[in-house]
């Protein structure tokens, strides 16, 4: 995350923020991915430069269960319930990992459709 912050500051035109997108699978069974993307004038160039590093975390179903091991989705939860819970957990996770030198509100956690925590 330090590398992403440093690049955002060093790039001419820079980035106004780093958006952390939470993608919950449509079936809402549990798989999800967390990606970072730059927001601002040089976002496209920065996103391409850090294509691999932008994938922060992912959960997938394997023949042995969830990888990595995460709790199963509670019965009765809708996709929106799961998405809200995952976005909240990612928000807390990012808050503990973001570099200390990060500007206020520089790391913004949300969903690709524009809902932010």
**pLDDT tens, position by position, 38-60:** 999 989 999 999 999 999 999 98
Closest CA to 2 of 84, 93, 74, 99: 99
Q: Rounded to two decimals, what is the model's pTM?
A: 0.85
The residues spanned by each domain of the chain are 2-110
**pLDDT tens, position by position, 15-39:** 899 999 999 987 656 689 999 999 9
pLDDT band at residue 74 using 50, 70 and 90 as cut-offs: confident
């Amino acid at each position: 995350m330090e590398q992403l912050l440093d690049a955002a500051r060093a790039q001419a035109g820079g980035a106004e923020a780093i958006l952390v997108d939470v993608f919950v699978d449509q079936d809402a069974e549990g798989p999800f991915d967390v990606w970072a993307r730059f927001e601002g004038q040089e976002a496209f160039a920065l996103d391409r430069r850090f294509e691999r590093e932008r994938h922060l975390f992912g959960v997938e179903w394997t023949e042995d269960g969830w990888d990595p091991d995460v709790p199963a989705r509670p019965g009765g939860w809708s996709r929106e319930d799961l998405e809200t819970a995952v976005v909240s957990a990612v928000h807390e996770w990012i808050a503990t990992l973001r570099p200390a030198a990060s500007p206020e509100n520089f790391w913004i956690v949300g969903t690709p459709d524009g809902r932010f925590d």
